[in-house]
Structure 1
Amino acid sequence: MILDKSAARTFTFHHAELGSLTGLVTPDNVVQFRAVPYATIPARFKRSILLGSLPESDGAYTEHGYACPQTFPLREADGGPFPGDPVEPASDEFECLLLQLNIPLAILHTPSTAKLPVLVYIHGGGFVLGKIDEQHSTALMVEQSILDTQPIISASIQYRVGALGYLQTPEPGNANLALNDQRNALRWIQKFIGGFGGDKQRVTVFGESAGSMSICAHMLSPPPTEGPLFQRAVLMSGIIGPATVPVPIEVAEQRYEAFLAKLGIEERGDAGLQKLREVDIDTLVAASTALGDEGGLWLPVQDREWFGEDAASVTWDRIPELIGKCEWVKDIVLGCTSFEGTTMMSRYAGITPSAFLSSIKTQLGAHSAEIISRAYAITPTMDQNLFFTPLLRWVGDAIFDAPTHMLAQYLSTKTTKNVYRYIFDVRNPFPNHALYQQPHHWVDIYFVFKAHQFRFPSQRLKDISTRHAQLWINFTHGKTPWGEYKYTGKGDEVLMVVDEREGWVERSAERVERDLEWGWGRCEELVSAWQEGGMKGEWWSCLELECLSGVKKT
């Protein structure tokens, strides 16, 4: 990290196809090329176009670029902006398709015929947030790889979010804009990474939450004509499930109508789209945020151009089977934090146990309500405070844990893929954070990049963070990160667990469940309740409950 900008060093490299590029040396043995454009956006709500060269400029890629316009969250809870990060991020809807490259200085200084494996980060953010910044920089991971004498090249990509990336308009050929942005970034890496010393045949992608779900969407889609875009995947707290499955076209069309209404646009069809393209960007982002706050997610669409002729069959229960058919990804790391649902505390605080069970009964029927009541030990008259823990468990399971468990079960028993599963049980280390001392959703993002280490209060946490980066680097190099997960249902499955007491340690599923005082059996019962409730093969959202009406979902 560059703390004193006046002390920053630069390095100019000549790429055979892209010409001369000047990057920032940060840290001392890594060159970071910032805000490299990978595609252009011809118009709002139009599919991006892959760039075959860099635009004419002075070749300097030393400054952060524009983020996609969004409602930026306050970052004071984890200490505020990092040194080098702007207090108010600049944004531009047409100049935001950027990537960042972090490359060992030595390989640029003295090119080698031996190519390095590549690790690509796809950010999360609930499909409405996210950007490249110092807090999510992979530069320190590259530095770590050099220190461990197994160097890698890394990249981070930006894409359109919110309505700009996920609104389905009546215009043909422009669905799933955000996914197409990501694909173009991955195609750019395939096309040009060799010139930086990278091996396009050894690309590992990793993402958290919406970033991980996006990786799943890529695995559900046929690769482009030039071939597969990655060979290994790390899926952190984000497998597509009944809360996040791609929506049917007719539902996306209803969402489009609601968006027009939110902006006060009376025209429909092409006229309505033209009006949308004329709306001030700040007004459009505010409407995008408001529609999400009212209870809907901006999600991919069951579009045939992306998901194929059987796009309508991409339902929540078939995701494991369909990912299992992705022949070009053989090795997958997947896992969750140990209490995903705590991020929903403030939004779900007013729900009562009786209202929850009644809503489940209305949605899934009496039998499924009984299954969920038993699995989570919820009774209609239980103490409200006691109820809140299983409610948050249910929320976390519904969105994250159950889809992850389903995928791990299927891939490890029905396919030849190598599956490595983990549980992240480290608590939030920032005292001014609302989720301080909780192992909540996204807390692992504070650790994997090593970027937050200067804010950690103990060496123990720093060591955990360093090991996190090392394990992902090992996996990028094609190594086995830890014991393979093979589901048996007997509790003898091997997982990697990380906590503040012992760091990263392999454990049996039985031991994990005993130590944490919960079991994945509740996830299996939850899935059973969904199936028994008639939702198998159907598109639906498990969060669409009467008691959650009007509650922001994530």
Structure 2
Amino acid sequence: MTGHVEPNNVVQFRAIPYATIPARYKRSILLDSLETTNRDFTKHGFACPQIKPLDNTRGGLFKDEPHPWPMDEFKCTILQINIPLSLLQNPPPKSNKLPVLVYIHGGGFYLGNIDSHHSTHLVVSKSITDAQPIIAVNIQYRVGALGFLYTDEANSNCALNDQRTALLWLQKFIGGFGGDRERVTVFGESAGSMSICYHMLAPPPPEGPLFNRAILMSGILGPISTPVFIEQAEARAEEFKKMLQKMGVDGPDHASVEDVVAASQKLIENSTLWLHVQADGWFGAETGKLTWDRVPELLGKCEWVDEIVVGTTGFEGPTMIANAQKMTPTSFLKGIEDQIGPKAASRTKEIYRLTEDMDQNLFLTPAMQWIGDVVFDAPAQNLVRYLTTKTDKKVYRYIFDARNPFPGHPLYQTAHHWVDIYYLFMTCQFRYPSQRLKDLSKKHAQLWTDFANGKAPWKEFKYGDGEEAVMMIAEERDGWIERTVAEDAALNERDTLQRAERLWETWAGEQGILRRSSTLPTAPFRRSE
């Protein structure tokens, strides 16, 4: 195999195929040999077809980064491996193979691919400098309707199957690259983190566990992201069919890939989420109906993952400000009352200090807090609470509170959802305005490689310690620093953790309504008429 030598003594093998796709909307099949494959892995591969916006938010494209990125629906099941050059020059004995850190990308399940921004080669380089070398891998999977459209149970969850197949490929072949298949840590952000939860909810394949440690970055399954029931998936498939018909296409079987992507995107713009399906083949018949409130308990039963990092950003909600701007205090509270009940509306009003006649500009902050709490903060906090009080798993809690450093970004100077991705991979360092931000970025990578090497990255979070429970906080002023819940709340006037718990308990009081489906009603997220 021929790879590309990156600066700082890392070899990058690009666009390695891990599966074949027999047909559209069909599950991928593990590629257990590269004998018929071109062995030159120096060029970037194809992304899954999607409407990929020009990303000027990180200061524009990187040098030599292609745009538009090449796409192909049947050549997109690929992965990238970054390896210390010295490992290939002097292969270690079998007993001294390196730990493996695997990234599953986010993108709301309708965007994302292996690109220059998310490359893990600098993380590997940092691990070499820190004398704790690792192998790092990026995996790619199908997104949008191509990965999530429900056609039948045998071919449900194509995107999830892609991810599992990639992880199985690594179990089969990573040893040949010098990696230890029994020391695999997966990390993901947003939809990537939620994907890790999906794998933890499913029984491991016959080959055994696919990973033993997990880093969950702003993405725990919760009230709007739990796998949908089959009847919901069928209804979504019907929505998709009708959207194609509006576009003049006579159903999914007659659509071009461009039509599929366009219809998929239109549903996303109407606040339809592409989610995995509760099929017995994935989650097991004994699991029963997987409702959002059971997620912490079921994740706690995952016996093959003992240590977990769980984190959120300082203010998750601003990335969905467009949703907040669609609402007024009155319409927001009425929407909750109509769908979940007057008690829930009254409780929400109290938690977020809302009044019907409050200034609209003042309303936007709690509205964005509520959206961030629903999607990210409440599921994260309540998973941490359950795991640290009901299980023996070790949990490390963090809040990434460093702000966006790019003046051209609409969320500049905000610690918004996904801002940590601009720091972790270190690929954006050359655009940081200060050395302090570069140091924070380097420390981020180091902490993740610490964890991959089996170390405790910082003090374990103990919910039972109350306000003395310790978290790691990332910020521009002090870098990565451990603080108690009380210290962080006093310093930053932050009540996110307490607010998230109170919101979760508000939903829990409406079990009769909420158990009718796996997810909460999402009218406040939908566009106004």
- TM-score over 0.5 for the pair: yes
Aligned to 1:14: none
Q: 2:53 maps to what in 1?
A: 73
Residue pair 2:323, 2:525 contacting (<8 A) in 1 also: no
Q: Alpha-carbon deviation of 1:242?
A: 0.6
SS at match of 2:395: strand
Shift of 1:55: 4.9
C-alpha distance in 2 between matches for 1:542 and 1:387:
22
Matched with 1:105 is: 85
* 1-structure distance, mates of 2:79, 2:32: 14
Pairing of 1:147-296 with structure 2 (within 5 A): 147-169=129-151, 171-264=152-245, 276-296=252-272
Instruction: Show the counterpart of 2:366.
Output: 390
Aligned residue pairs total 525
Would the alpha carbon gap of residues 543 and 27 (structure 1) be closer, same or farther in structure 2, given more than 3 Å must change? farther
C-alpha distance in structure 2 between counterparts of 1:421 and 1:59, whole Å: 42
User: Which of 356, 371, 379 is 2:347 aligned to?
Assistant: 371
| Amino acid across the alignment from 1:122 | I
Q: Is the 8 A contact 1:498 1:505 kept in 2?
A: yes
State the partner residue of 2:505.
528
Q: How does 1:83-122 map to 2 (within 5 A)?
A: 83-113=63-93, 114-122=96-104
Give the Å deviation of 1:544.
Answer: 1.6
Q: Which residue of 2 aligns with 1:59?
A: 39
Residue 136 of structure 1 aligns to a residue in which SS? coil
**Structure 2 CA distance, aligned partners of 1:279 and 1:33?**
34
Aligned mates of 1:23, 1:441 — CA distance in 2 = 33
Aligned with residue 127 of structure 1, among 92, 109, 114: 109
- Any idea what SS the aligned residue of 2:285 has? coil
Matched, 1:539 2:520: no
- Cα distance in 2 between the residues matched to 1:544 and 1:58: 47
Shift of the 551–222 alpha-carbon distance from structure 1 to 2, 3 Å rule, reads farther
TM-score (norm 1): 0.92
After superposition, what is the alpha-carbon deviation per residue over 1:199-237, rounded to whole angstroms, capped at 9, x for unaligned? 000000000000000000000001110100000000000
Question: 2:242 & 2:322 partners in 1: Cα distance?
Answer: 28
Deviation at 1:515, TM superposition (A): 2.1
The residue aligned with 1:314 is 290
Structure-2 separation of matches of 1:205 and 1:242: 23
Letter paired with 1:289? Q
Q: Is the 8 A contact 2:339 2:521 kept in 1?
A: no
CA drift at 1:364: 1.6
Report the RMSD for the aligned CA atoms in angstroms.
1.8
User: SS of 1:264's equivalent?
Assistant: helix
CA distance in 2, matches of 1:526, 1:382: 21
Cα distance between partner residues in 1 of 2:348 and 2:286: 32
Quote the Cα distance in structure 2 between the aligned partners of 1:538 and 1:346: 28
Q: Percent sequence identity over matched residues?
A: 55
Between the aligned partners of 2:205 and 2:286, the Cα distance in structure 1 is 18
1:456 aligns with 2:432: yes
Determine the C-alpha separation between the residues in 2 that align with 1:448 and 1:542. 32
Q: Which residue is equivalent to 1:7? A: none
- AA at the equivalent of 1:438: T
How far off is 1:543 after superposition? 5.4
Partner of 1:145: 127
The residue type paired with residue 94 of structure 1 is F
Counterpart amino acid of 1:420? Y
395, 415, 418: which one pairs with 2:394? 418
The residue type equivalent to 1:479 in the other structure is K
**Partner secondary structure for residue 86 of structure 1:** coil
Deviation of residue 361 (structure 1)? 1.2
Is the Cα contact below 8 Å between 1:317 and 1:536 reproduced in 2?
Answer: no
Deviations 1:442-473, CA, capped at 9 Å, x for gaps: 00000000111011111000000000000000
- Is the deviation greater in 77-86 or in 386-395? 77-86
Contact persistence 2:337–2:345 (CA under 8 A): yes
Give the conservation status (yes or no) of the 8 Å contact 2:101–2:186: yes
> Within 2, Cα distance between the matches of 1:538 and 1:452?
45
Query: Partner amino acid for 1:163?
Result: A
User: Contact between 1:302 and 1:311, CA under 8 Å: does it hold in 2?
Assistant: no
Task: Tell me the SS of whatever aligns to 2:154.
Answer: coil
What residue identity is the alignment partner of 1:522? R
Q: Structure 2: how far apart are the matches of 1:471 and 1:190?
A: 24
| 2:206 alignment partner AA | T
2:111 and 2:150 mapped to 1: Cα distance?
A: 18
Contact 2:113 2:140 in 1 (8 A): yes
> Which one-letter code corresponds to 2:18 in the other structure?
Y
2:325 is matched with 349
Letter paired with 2:85 = L
Question: Paired residue for 1:49?
Answer: 29
Q: TM-score, normalised by structure 2?
A: 0.97
Q: Does the C-alpha gap of structure 1 residues 312 and 249 become closer, same or farther in structure 2, counting only changes over 3 Å?
A: farther
Q: Render the CA deviation track for 1:271-317: whole Å, top value 9, x for unaligned.
A: x8xx5244111111000000111121000011110011045421100
- Report if aligned partners of 1:241, 1:317 keep a CA contact under 8 Å in 2: yes
Choose from 118, 127, 135 the match for 1:136.
Answer: 118
Paired residue type of 1:249 = I
What's the offset of the Cα at 1:407? Answer: 0.3
**What secondary structure sits across from 2:155 in the alignment?**
coil
Give, in whole Å, the separation in 1 of the partners of 2:518 and 2:337: 15
Distance across 2 between alignment mates of 1:320 and 1:540: 14
Per-residue CA deviations over 1:464-495 (Å, capped at 9, x if unaligned) read 00000000000000000000011027311110
Distance 1:130 1:514 in 2: 37
Gaps of 5+ in 1: 1-20, 267-271
Tell me, what secondary structure is at the counterpart of 2:499? helix
Q: Which ranges in structure 2 are unaligned for 5 or more consecutive residues?
A: none
Offset at 1:523? 1.0
